[in-house]
């Protein structure tokens, strides 16, 4: 016994620290490996989510079913109907009467009705002016607006075509040509998949870790750890490191699948990605650990981590909905969640590249959050028992 | 009668487990309500104040009039007037503006001499959805501007020949908030129910109290009922509260019948309780229960049509979606709120829900006893 103590006294402080770290890291790793659900979260979940987001969410529309009610048998009417038919955006089904089309619209068999009055061709011939009526199901406003845009495009193309054929003298007016930078075909997937990485890292960083310390308190193993020579810093590091690795694994896997399978462009550099995602991961881990250390009940820690971690990462991060169009109070609230900054970073990093003026402010805020949350977690992992 | 007594005893225990703790009492009502309002405001696809910059090389009356039209639409917010083409790249790349309108030097001259005048628009594609919608707004503004030019007599009448008269039914101002908020309550109450139920059996398994419950004189059916009721009560309460919030706070129209709403929500909550208990009875620890709930919830919400239309998904995903309960409640809620469905009209959504519940609940009860360590 005395020899042991002497040996320990002779050991240098760093060596002691390393010895303690080896012990706690081994314990945490075993604990992760013992429950397959944590590994599944880091490996299976990213792949499942990538497929669902990659294929499931497209905010643009193709083959929109519409009914064409044409009371006009003239050549112009038939020609325009054919234009809609040929367009990849619409699949048309003929309806004999307006009443029939309305029933189809109400039953959601079609998304819109395109109506040509009986004097369409005649009016176009004589007055060079004829209206086309379009009725849309406005329930999905976003989709309705896209469909409106497609219909406008088809009609203006048709006007140009008629002009080229000399059927009409279209008066010159303003025309728009547009270019979409960084994402030339405006592919939703290129936008969704990078943002998704935020969600995966949030799941691992906040949800999983929120349970970790709370579980130790609930099961009483925390008290067992308190009587060991472990310091607070050792416990914190022992919790952070394994989950950090798990999170980075999930991130690496997601990026790999995104680039190879979904052909999402990656225009930034890997080094920057590693650096920035590490900072984000630390902010999430810090927050998760802080929650569980402060709450100490798994059930409540789980609920709060979902409500303040996961759901804001989905709704208040700009992952799906554009934050700049939300009311100002919501924009202010969104700034307290780390996910918002990382979504912005990942979009720029994937599609535009290492644009430091965009990345730097976000990185600074994330680093500040990481320090704050890890500091709070450190304070809350106290080595005292409540009396 | 005896059975009723036993169920009552179980119910009291289950409610006590949620209500005895101040923190967990608060989280079943407070945060979901807060979320509903915050997300109700955040969840919109309508754009306002899209930051844009103008490079006007024409500097004529017409080009200024055009820019004024863009500014007056209310959707756009001018952040910079550019002087040269070289500035475009930086202003988009550094996210100062999301859109640059480039009017060439011949804009005025061309319009006045009867040649089509082009306007180039450059959009930041990092958020393609915003880019496409903003371009759509701009298209509508250009259409209006063309009409103005005709009425001012600057260009000859005749216009593009055909013009589109558009009307959107059920939501004539095309507010996407209605679309999201009418269904959002269903999703948030689902999160509440899933969290309550998916952790309930797992928690008792982790603490070892579930074994005590199994050796007590309860049938699995009674345990199932006792475990289901708190989730059902809180879920339904939240869901009805959210529906009221959608109507009275967000001004979503309510065109259907209240009976249909209550029926749809009740069937949905029963189904979700079934799924939650199934997940819970499969898990040995709370961690597994929570992660299991996520494995179910994430795909179910994403594929439900809450945010993106299900029609655009590939065929195999649409087939898989037939067993997704969230999909049915979202269709039902939108039909009830916006289209005015009554009980008979939502039947196509009700029976699949009941079918899923009919599979999930008995499986959960069976697993209580048969899931071994």
Answer for the pair B81, B54: CB distance below 8 angstroms, yes or no. Answer: yes
In the predicted structure, residue A228 carries a pLDDT above the cut 50? yes
The tokens 């088809």 sit on which residue? A154
CB contact (8 A) between residue A135 and residue B168: yes
Query: Long-range CB contacts (< 8 A, 24+ apart) of A78-81?
Result: A79/A158, A80/A116, A80/A120, A80/A132, A80/A155, A80/A158, A80/B162, A81/A114, A81/A116
Put simply, whether A328 touches B (Cβ < 8 Å) is no
For chains A and B, CB pairs below 8 A equal 358
Alpha carbons A18 and B171: distance in angstroms, whole number? 65
Report yes or no: A69 and A118 within 8 Å, Cβ to Cβ: no
Q: Of chain A residues 36-55, which have a CB less than 8 A from chain B?
A: 37-38, 40-41, 45, 48-49, 52-53, 55
Name every chain A residue with its beta carbon within 8 A of the beta carbon of B290. Answer: 207, 211, 302, 306
Residues A97-135 pLDDT 10s: 888 888 888 777 888 888 888 888 887 777 767 788 888
Which burial class, exposed, middle or buried, applies to A126 when counting CB atoms under 10 A from its CB (0-12, 13-18, 19+)? Answer: exposed
- Provide the mean pLDDT of chain A: 82
Cβ contacts of A235 within 8 Å, gap of 6 or more? A24, A225, A381
Optimal mutation site among B96, B117, B127, B238, interface A, most CBs of chain A within 10 A: B127
With a CB cutoff of 8 Å and minimum separation 6, the contacts of A82 are: none
Can you read off the two tokens belonging to residue A42? 């880091």
- Residue of A62, A188, A316 lying closest to B128 (CB–CB): A188
Q: Which chain A positions have a beta carbon within 8 Å of B308's beta carbon? A: 56-59
Query: How far is Cα A206 from Cα A292, in angstroms, rounded to an integer?
Result: 10
- Asked if residues A340 and A323 have their Cβ atoms less than 8 Å apart, the reply is yes
E runs forming strands in chain B:
50-56, 76-82, 99-103, 117-124, 162-169
Residues of A in contact with B287 (CB under 8 A): 35, 37-38, 208, 211, 215, 298
pLDDT at B373: 53
Chain A: closest CA distance from residue B358 (Å): 26
Asked whether residue A343 carries a pLDDT value surpassing 60, the answer given is: yes
A386 pLDDT above the threshold of 70: no
Which of B94, B156, B290 has the CB atom closest to A171's CB atom? Answer: B156
Nearest residue in A to B204, CA atom: A299
Contact A148, A136 (CB under 8 A): yes
- Whether the Cβ atoms of residue B188 and residue B242 lie closer than 8 Å to each other: yes
The CA-CA-CA angle for residues B363, B367, B368, to 5°, reads 120
Find the closest chain B residue to A311 by CA distance. Answer: B35
Between the alpha carbon of residue A195 and those of residues A264, A339, B44, the distances in Å are 12, 9, 18
Q: How far is CA B191 from the centre of its chain?
A: 13
pLDDT band at residue A6, thresholds of 50, 70 and 90?
A: low
Report yes or no: A59 at the B interface, CB cutoff 8 Å: yes
pLDDT 10s digits, A36-69: 777 877 788 888 888 887 777 766 677 888 888 8
Check residue A1 and give its pLDDT: 47
How far away is chain A from the Cα of B116, in angstroms, using its nearest Cα? 4
Measured between beta carbons, which residues in chain A are less than 8 angstroms from residue B285?
35, 37
Q: Considering just the CA atoms, what is the radius of gyration of chain B in Å?
A: 28
Q: Hey, CA dihedral for B11, B13, B18, B20, is it positive or negative?
A: positive
Q: How far is A52 from chain B (nearest CA, A)?
A: 7
Examine the predicted complex and report whether its ipTM is higher than 0.95.
no
Q: Which residues are A90's β-sheet partners? A: A64
- Angle value at C-alpha B243, between B241 and B244, nearest 5 degrees: 65
Q: Do A318 and B127 touch (CB under 8 A)?
A: yes
DSSP state of B323: G
Going by DSSP bridges, is the β-strand pair A64-70/A112-116 parallel, antiparallel, or unpaired? Answer: parallel
Query: Which candidate from A175, A178, A190 shows the least CB-CB separation from B116?
Result: A175
Average pLDDT over residues A141-145: 76
What per-residue confidence (pLDDT) applies to B160?
45
Nearest-CA distance from A371 to chain B in Å?
Answer: 26
Per-position pLDDT tens, chain B of length 373: 677 888 888 888 888 877 777 766 777 777 788 888 888 888 777 787 889 999 999 888 888 988 998 888 888 989 999 998 888 888 888 888 888 999 888 888 888 877 778 888 888 888 877 887 888 888 888 878 887 887 777 766 544 455 566 666 766 666 778 888 888 889 889 988 998 899 888 888 888 888 888 888 888 888 888 888 888 998 999 999 999 999 999 888 898 999 999 999 999 999 999 999 999 999 888 888 888 888 888 888 888 888 777 777 788 888 888 899 999 999 999 889 988 888 988 999 999 999 999 999 999 989 888 776 5
Structure tokens at A343: 């979504």
Asked if A168 and B124 come within 8 Å (Cβ–Cβ), the reply is no
Distance from CA of B7 to the nearest CA of A (A): 24
Q: Which two tokens stand for residue A148?
A: 């409106």
- Model pLDDT, residue B328: 94
* Composition of chain A by helix, strand, coil, percent to 5: 70, 10, 25
Which token pair is B5?
Answer: 């007594």
Q: Which of B128, B176, B178 sits opposite A191 (nearest CB)?
A: B128
The helix (H) or strand (E) run that includes residue B365 is helix B347-370
Instruction: Determine the Cα–Cα distance for residues A170 and A176; give it in Å rounded to an integer.
Output: 16
Any chain B CB within 8 A of the CB of A141? Answer: yes
Q: Is the pLDDT assigned to residue A179 strictly greater than 80?
A: no
Inter-chain contact A48–B172, Cβ cutoff 8 Å? Answer: no
pLDDT in tens, A191-203: 888 888 898 889 8
Q: How high is the pLDDT of residue A172?
A: 41
How far is residue B353's CA from residue B371's CA, in Å, rounded to a whole number? 25
Q: In angstroms, what CA-CA distances link B215 with B223, B226, B317?
A: 11, 16, 43
Indicate left, alpha or beta for A123 from its phi (over 0: left) and psi (-120 to 50: alpha). alpha
Confidence of residue A271 (pLDDT cuts 50, 70, 90): very high
- Residue B113's CB is within 10 A of a number of other CB atoms, namely 10
Q: Which residues of B15-36 are buried (b: 16+ CB within 10 A; e: fewer)?
A: eebbeeeeebeebbeebbeebb
Residue holding tokens 């010159």? A172
CB-nearest to B131 from A144, A155, A186 is: A186
What sign does the CA torsion over A34, A38, A42, A43 have?
A: positive
């Amino acid at each position: 016994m005395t020899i042991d103590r002497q040996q320990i006294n002779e050991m240098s402080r760093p060596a002691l620290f390393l010895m303690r770290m080896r012990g706690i890291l081994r314990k945490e790793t075993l604990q992760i490996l013992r429950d397959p659900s944590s590994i599944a979260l880091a490996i299976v979940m990213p792949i499942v989510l990538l497929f669902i987001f990659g294929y499931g969410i497209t905010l643009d529309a193709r083959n929109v079913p519409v009914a064409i009610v044409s009371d006009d048998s003239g050549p112009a009417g038939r020609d325009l109907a054919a234009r809609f038919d040929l367009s990849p955006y619409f699949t048309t089904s003929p309806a004999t009467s307006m009443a029939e089309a309305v029933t189809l619209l109400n039953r959601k068999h079609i998304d819109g009705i395109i109506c040509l009055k009986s004097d369409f061709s005649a009016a176009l011939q004589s007055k060079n002016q004829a209206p086309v009526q379009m009725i849309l199901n406005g329930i999905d406003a976003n989709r309705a607006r896209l469909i409106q845009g497609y219909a406008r495009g088809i009609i203006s193309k048709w006007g140009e075509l008629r002009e080229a054929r000399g059927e009409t003298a279209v008066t010159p007016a303003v025309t728009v040509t547009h270019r979409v930078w960084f994402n030339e075909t405006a592919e939703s997937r290129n936008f969704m998949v990078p943002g998704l990485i935020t969600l995966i890292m949030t799941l691992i960083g906040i949800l999983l870790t929120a349970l970790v310390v709370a579980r130790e308190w609930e099961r009483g193993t925390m008290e067992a750890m308190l009587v060991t020579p472990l310091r607070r810093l050792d416990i914190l590091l022992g919790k952070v490191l394994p989950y950090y690795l798990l999170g980075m694994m999930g991130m690496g896997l997601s990026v790999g699948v995104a680039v190879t399978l979904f052909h999402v462009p990656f225009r930034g550099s890997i080094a920057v990605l590693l650096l920035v995602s590490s900072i984000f991961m630390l902010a999430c881990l810090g927050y998760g650990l802080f929650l569980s250390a402060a709450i100490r009940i798994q059930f409540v820690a789980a609920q709060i981590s979902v409500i303040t971690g996961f759901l804001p990462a989905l709704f208040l991060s700009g992952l799906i909905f554009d934050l700049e169009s939300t009311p100002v109070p919501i924009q202010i609230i969104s700034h307290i969640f780390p996910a918002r900054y990382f979504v912005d970073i990942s979009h720029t990093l994937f599609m535009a590249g290492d644009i430091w003026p965009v990345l730097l402010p976000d990185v600074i805020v994330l680093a500040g959050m990481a320090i704050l949350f890890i500091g709070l977690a450190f304070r809350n992992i106290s080595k005292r028992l409540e009396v | 009668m005896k059975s009723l007594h036993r169920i009552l005893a179980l119910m009291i225990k289950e409610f006590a487990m949620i209500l005895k703790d101040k923190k967990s009492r608060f989280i079943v009502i407070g945060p979901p309500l807060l979320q509903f309002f915050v997300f109700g405001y955040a969840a919109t696809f309508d754009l306002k104040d899209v930051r844009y910059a103008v490079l006007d090389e024409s500097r004529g009356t017409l080009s200024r009039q055009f820019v004024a039209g863009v500014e007056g639409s209310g959707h756009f917010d001018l952040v910079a007037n550019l002087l040269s083409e070289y500035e475009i790249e930086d202003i988009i790349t550094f996210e100062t503006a999301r859109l640059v309108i480039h009017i060439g030097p011949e804009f005025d001259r061309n319009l006045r001499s009867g040649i089509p005048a082009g306007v180039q628009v450059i959009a930041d594609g990092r958020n393609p959805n915003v880019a496409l919608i903003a371009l759509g707004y701009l298209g509508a503004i250009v259409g209006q501007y063309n009409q103005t030019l005709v009425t001012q007599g600057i260009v000859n009448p005749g216009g593009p020949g055909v013009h589109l008269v558009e009307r959107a039914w059920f939501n004539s101002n095309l507010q996407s908030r209605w679309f999201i908020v009418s269904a959002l309550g269903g999703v948030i109450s689902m999160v509440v129910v899933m969290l309550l139920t998916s952790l309930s059996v797992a928690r008792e398994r982790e603490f070892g109290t579930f074994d005590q419950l199994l050796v007590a004189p309860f049938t699995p059916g009674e345990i199932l009922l006792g475990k289901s009721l708190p989730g059902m009560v809180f879920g339904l309460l939240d869901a009805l509260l959210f529906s009221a919030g959608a109507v009275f706070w967000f001004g979503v129209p309510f065109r259907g019948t209240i009976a249909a709403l209550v029926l749809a929500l009740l069937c949905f909550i029963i189904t979700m309780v079934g799924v939650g208990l199934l997940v819970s009875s499969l898990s040995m620890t709370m961690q597994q229960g929570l992660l299991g709930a996520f494995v179910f919830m994430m795909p179910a919400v994403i594929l439900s049509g809450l945010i993106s239309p299900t029609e655009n998904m590939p065929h195999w995903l649409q087939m898989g979606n037939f067993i997704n309960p969230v999909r049915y409640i979202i269709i039902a809620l939108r039909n009830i709120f916006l289209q005015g469905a009554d009980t008979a009209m939502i039947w196509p959504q009700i029976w699949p829900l009941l079918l899923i519940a009919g599979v999930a609940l008995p499986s959960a009860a069976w697993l209580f006893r048969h899931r071994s360590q």
